[in-house]
Structure 1
Amino acid sequence: MRYKELPGTEIEVSKICLGSMTWGQQNTQDEGFAQMDMALDMGVNFIDTAEMYSVPGRPETQGSTETIIGNWFAERNNRDKVILATKIAGPSPTFKHIRPNLGFSADALEDALHKSLTRLQTDYIDLYQLHWPERAVNIFGVRDYNHKPNARWEDNIGEILDRLEVHVKSGKIRHIAVSNETPFGLMRYMEEHRKGKLKIVSTQNAYSLLQRRDEIGLSEVLQMEDIGYLAYSPLAFGVLSGKYLNGAMPAGARVTLFPNYNRYNGEGSLAATQAYKDIAEKHGLSLTQMALAFVNDRPFMTSNIIGATSLEQLKENIESIEIQLSEEVIREINEVHSRMPNPAA
């Protein structure tokens, strides 16, 4: 395993982070325990979750993933071996079952943090992330930003940081971060930091061979402002394993079970996936490991959040850290990207 400092902290996180959102629906608690055991044995020290998990979000399973992780901590007595990240949900008409006070008000933060700590059976969160912004942005399958001048959002970034600082000072949160953020959002947080407020240490965004748009503007912000980057969906809901090519819908696979998870299954994405698969086969690589190795080694990457529903998948995903792509492979990947840039929204 390789490790990298979470910027502005003394925390070393594994370059592979274990994602957890299938535990509680696609995976049982025992399977979640087995995945965490294997990941820890293979050098992974970083686990990411969220109050809304497992997915898809449903009232009867909300919080189930944090509960599974908390039960694992209690049974294994190993909280000190893990860098734990979780997220508080932003406003959404879809997820009102999570809490009646969705968003980042003082009451919402107090409520969400208390419930996450209880489910996780811990006294502190290493990295507490705002799952998505309170303002309207182009995320979750929306490619273009559609500005709405009359949208109900007043800039409250400074106030949010003040509210989070209360919990940092109490010891319940070590460091703060965001997720699904834009260059504008990151720079607003940095503007407040320059006024003396807490600094966000990372953002967690979708990034893969099919979704490289953060290279265009966000990557400069990350590197110039020393902000970490955590990539989620590096296999694009499993599409970059190649298992959905030629119309295949494998039994038990995420897109098969949940057809609305289709943002990476468009014609353009599948054509690009086939082109990347051809490169991998030409060079004796599995498409999965090539796709993950590409993400692992981006210059702005702090940690790559992988997920799996079986131990076989998990082992292959973690072992991608051992693969160094050649200059020829990178060149061929970028040639496909030039022809079919960001085919997924």
Structure 2
Amino acid sequence: MQMNPLGRTGLTVSELCLGTMTFGTQTSEAEGHAQIDRALAAGINLVDTAEMYPVNPVSKETIGRTEEIIGTWNAANPARRGDYLLATKHSGEGLAAVRDGAPITAETIPGTVEGSLRRLQTDYIDLYQFHWPNRGSYMFRKNWTFDPTGQDRAATLANMEECLEALQAQVDKGNIRHFGLSNESAWGTAQWLRLAEDRGWPRVVSIQNEYSLLCRLYDTDLAELSVNEEVGLLAFSPLGTGLLSGKYQNGAVPDGSRKSLNPGLGGRETDRVHAAVDAYLDIAARHGIDPVHMALAWCRTRPFMASAIFGATHMDQLEHALASVDVVLGEEVLAEIDKAHRAHPMPY
């Protein structure tokens, strides 16, 4: 398992991160506990969750259940809490199931942190992330119509300052250790960095944005920011919600799969996506590489990558993903991937 720097913290994170967003809906507590055990045994040292999980679906009745499942594992394994880094997230504005859609503010942070600590049954959170910015985001397919002209710059910066000061108070209490972003832009990340450095408040160590062979918005301005500011990417959906496995080709919808619960796959099911997947499946087949392994191994080649977050509904999927660490992509494969990307840019 390759280890990569986590910002300027001096810590390293495994190239793969165990995502847990199905714990509590598609994945049972017992299965979730088994996945944590297996992931740690394989060398994974980063587990990611969020206060709003589980998903498929997100509902007010299940909010926090994923953190609770991780919490019961922590309670049963108190001596192992130091074996891994635990990351969770504070939901942003607009999610009615959490705080009635309230934005992230200095007032919401203390209670939200305490709630996560209680559910996670831990004394500290290694990486505390803001799930999406209050002002909105071009993520989740909103890039096609993204318009920032309605933003209030002064209000955005004032909120950032207040939140950073509130985060510093949580660091001082020992509740959180490091701060990360999610679904952020280059401008937003640059402001968080600037304000933190000006005031000595928590510096952003990572950005959790969507990234895969099918979704490469990060390759432009955020890639440059990542490298120069040492803020690594925690890539979510590196398998394109399962599309890159090939399991949804030719209209297939496996029972219990994400697509069986969310037919549009969050806007990823388009007229163009299956042709793009076919191109990557063809590369994998011709070179004798499992397509899941190719997709995850490709993430490892990216210069800004800290860790790729994958989720597994069942243990066999976890085992399958873990085997990707033994796969190294040759120059010919990488060149063909680049050619396929040029032929199928932004399929969703």
TM superposition score category, shorter chain reference: over 0.9
CA distance in 2, matches of 1:312, 1:30: 15
CA distance in 1, matches of 2:204, 2:66: 25
Q: Higher mean Cα deviation, 141-150 or 125-134?
A: 141-150
**Matched residue type, 1:203:** I
State the secondary structure of the residue aligned to 1:149: helix
The number of aligned residues is 342
**Matched residue type, 1:181:** E
Give the alignment partner of residue 240 of structure 2, picking from 236, 241, 244.
236
**Matched residue type, 1:178:** L
Alignment of 1:253-332 (within 5 A): 253-332=257-336
Superposed displacement of residue 251, structure 1: 0.8
Superposed displacement of residue 342, structure 1: 1.9
Residue in 2 aligned with 1:341?
345
CA contact under 8 A between 2:71 and 2:122: conserved in structure 1? yes
CA contact under 8 A between 2:249 and 2:274: conserved in structure 1? yes
**Matched residue type, 2:147:** H
Residue in 2 aligned with 1:38?
38
CA distance in 2, matches of 1:194, 1:71: 37
CA distance in 2, matches of 1:262, 1:80: 35
Superposed displacement of residue 314, structure 1: 0.5
CA distance in 2, matches of 1:301, 1:150: 32
Residue in 2 aligned with 1:90?
92
Question: For residues 206 and 148 of structure 1, do their structure 2 counterparts lie closer, same or farther at Cα, with a shift above 3 Å needed?
Answer: closer
**Matched residue type, 1:259:** P
Residue in 1 aligned with 2:77?
76
Give the alignment partner of residue 245 of structure 1, picking from 246, 249, 262.
249
Superposed displacement of residue 47, structure 1: 0.1
CA contact under 8 A between 2:106 and 2:162: conserved in structure 1? no
Give the alignment partner of residue 182 of structure 1, picking from 178, 181, 185.
185
CA distance in 1, matches of 2:101, 2:184: 21
Q: 1:10-49 CA deviation, whole Å, 9 max, x = no partner?
A: 2221111000000000011011011111111111111000
**Matched residue type, 1:186:** T
CA distance in 2, matches of 1:325, 1:9: 29
State the secondary structure of the residue aligned to 2:107: helix
CA distance in 2, matches of 1:296, 1:308: 19
State the secondary structure of the residue aligned to 1:295: helix
Superposed displacement of residue 107, structure 1: 2.0
Superposed displacement of residue 148, structure 1: 4.8
1:143 pairs with 2:147: no
**Matched residue type, 2:167:** L
CA distance in 1, matches of 2:212, 2:234: 11
CA contact under 8 A between 1:204 and 1:230: conserved in structure 2? yes
Q: List alignment gaps of at least 5 residues for structure 1.
A: none
Give the alignment partner of residue 222 of structure 1, picking from 218, 221, 226.
226
Superposed displacement of residue 67, structure 1: 0.2
Normalising to structure 1: TM-score of the pair? 0.96
State the secondary structure of the residue aligned to 1:267: coil
Q: 1:27-76 CA deviation, whole Å, 9 max, x = no partner?
A: 11011011111111111111000000000210111101000000011112
CA distance in 2, matches of 1:207, 1:169: 33
Normalising to structure 2: TM-score of the pair? 0.95
Q: List alignment gaps of at least 5 residues for structure 2.
A: none
State the secondary structure of the residue aligned to 1:342: coil
State the secondary structure of the residue aligned to 2:88: strand
Superposed displacement of residue 193, structure 1: 2.6
Q: 1:238-282 CA deviation, whole Å, 9 max, x = no partner?
A: 111100001111111101122242422212111100110000000
**Matched residue type, 1:82:** Y
CA contact under 8 A between 2:22 and 2:313: conserved in structure 1? yes
Q: Higher mean Cα deviation, 157-166 or 113-122?
A: 157-166
CA distance in 1, matches of 2:306, 2:150: 36
Residue in 2 aligned with 1:5?
5
- Higher share in helix: 2
Superposed displacement of residue 216, structure 1: 1.4
